[in-house]
Amino acid sequence: MKIIIALLIFSIIIIFHELGHFSLAKANGIRVNEFCLGLGPTILGMTKGETKYSLKLLPFGGACMMEGEDGESTDDRAFGKKSVWARISVVAAGPVFNFIMAFVFSFILLSCNGYDLSLIHISEPTRRTPISYAVFCLKKKKNKLKIYSTHYLTTLKHIHPIEHKRKRPHNGSL
């Protein structure tokens, strides 16, 4: 089940990426021959207008195949016949759409879950512990120490230094 969920999430990312290439290719007047999800032989396919939409056998990868993308073409709507900025926008659209998707998903997650910003206030920490050094540095710089969970505060209160003295024999051997 986890593999199916991973493939589904990966497919959504790929579709969104390829949709970036596809939408800017169409906006710039570039002919798109095929828009597919997956690699290998075609399982499902349909043609709408000049573009073939297909689902391939292997569920990873995808493509937005444009006219003249791989070589020379006599078509006026070929990828190679468009301006440099039109080609740059089509090529950059996939990664830009990935950033947009990441921003939207991050916004949704933070809106649903939020984040917890806690402040640690320590009165007198035990000597010779990492937390006492942190408090010393904070008092010296007059800053506030920020953490993202109150669990650390309760955990740090119970830390006590362990003093261990090892007795050595008088002859110098361990």
- Within 10 angstroms of residue 15's Cβ, the number of other Cβ atoms is 15
Could you confirm whether 18 is annotated as catalytic? yes
Find the catalytic residue in 18, 67, 72, 163.
18
* pLDDT for 78: 92
Residues whose CB falls within 8 Å of the CB of residue 56, separated by 6 or more in sequence, listed in order = 36, 37, 38, 39, 40, 41, 42, 43
- 111-157 pLDDT tens trace: 887 766 655 555 555 566 666 666 666 666 555 554 444 444 444 44
**Average pLDDT along the chain:** 78
